[in-house]
Structure 1
Amino acid sequence: MVTTQDLASRDDVRSGIVAAATQLLREKGANAVTTRAVAQAAGVQAPTIYRLFGDKDGLIDAVAEHVMASYVSGKSAADVATRDPVADLRSGWRTHVEFGLTNPELYALIAARGSRTPSPATVAGLDVLRRRVRRLAAAGLLRVDEQRALLMIHSAGNGTILTLLGMPADQRDLGLGEAMLDAVLTSILSTTPATPDTTTNAVAVTFATVLPDLPGLTDAERALMAEWLHRSLTHLP
């Protein structure tokens, strides 16, 4: 029978391992975060890491969660949604770029996994971005479909961070992030963001956001209509 004390002890061991891995990552870099090194630094046997985290990727996921939680809690201003979806997107973009530059080794580890097995941190970040893009679409501000906008913003953000991390710190163009975001927004937003666009593109994208709530349709009919909208959007200029 597992007691409360056993669970507390397990949590303490897990926290100690995450802390040791985080310290190794920051002090010695990604290559130093091996199962053996982490186990030695945490004062445990290597099998304990596999038992608690499954594998090294599981450990890195836990480190990412820990570092991100510490980063967010340490921010002076919370990421609170406003009435301006474009301003909210800019705020999220800046936070993402700042986190990547503040935690280069961790960001590089997460990025290296790519689409092979996306980390929970990556999945959670995409979910937040997806909600922000949905707000743009619902406001009639998108000229491309939501998925295209999501991928463009995500790709540009990761590319910007990795490009800056590849430069010596004293030679980084810190204005690159804003310039990249402006370029993406020019491509995905209607020409006059202050007023909803009434072109065919924007109307189709906006209509797609309310499709799930349209009454009197079956799931099959909704899926078919969504397919038609997506097909039309891919052929619109």
Structure 2
Amino acid sequence: MAVDIEMNLKDVQEKIQKAVVKADRNLQEVQLIAVTKTVEPEAMERAIELGVTHVGENKVQELTRKYEIIGDKVKWHMIGHLQKNKVKYIIDKVALIHSLDSYELADEIDKRAKQIGQVMQCLLQVNVSGEESKYGVEPKDVDELLHRISLLKHIEIVGLMTMAPYTDEPEEVRVFFKKLKQLSNDIKEKKIHNIKMHYLSMGMSNDFEVAIEEGASLVRIGSKIFGERNY
């Protein structure tokens, strides 16, 4: 059965609106990122026609392949784990890297951004759930890492990202979104040079409403728009 992207997108936007109202927030504070993992360019083009302006890719190879077709019609987000040796392929294509998780990666992004005369905006990925299967910096190591990264000239940390454990019960992961929000507030208070806390990237198809209630500004939604993944 064909996926009705228009209907799905409308449904997601209505749910975002409801969550924003419930949290007494402003709709302008929440940006939908359509996650296009395993989604072909034709379906992406349809979503763009329907008003999608930001897309997120998990794999560098997929991002570069689709970028060749779609180009600058949307803002591209790198949301998956990023290896140092792949930075050079996306540095001139993405608006935001969500998955910065080490000083070594920050250093490489800084070097590549310098080569093209840009400052690359990044989010620090934090493993607030402590799951071994998840990438991200441990909360206790965030402070030291941010101080080191703050000295780099061509990279700017503009917020935090996390991935909550997968569950059918969104309430179970609320605690992790609260923790990321608290961490963001703590960092803000420290006023570290060159470190900003504009964004919280948290919440996916199964838990984005709870994430919005807890302060998410970037929600990464794939299957609720494009249908269940076909691996």
Question: Aligning the two structures, in what range does the TM-score lie when normalised by the shorter sequence?
Answer: under 0.3
Which structure is higher in helix share? 1
TM-score using structure 1 length = 0.22
Which structure is higher in strand share? 2
TM-score using structure 2 length = 0.23
Larger radius of gyration: 1
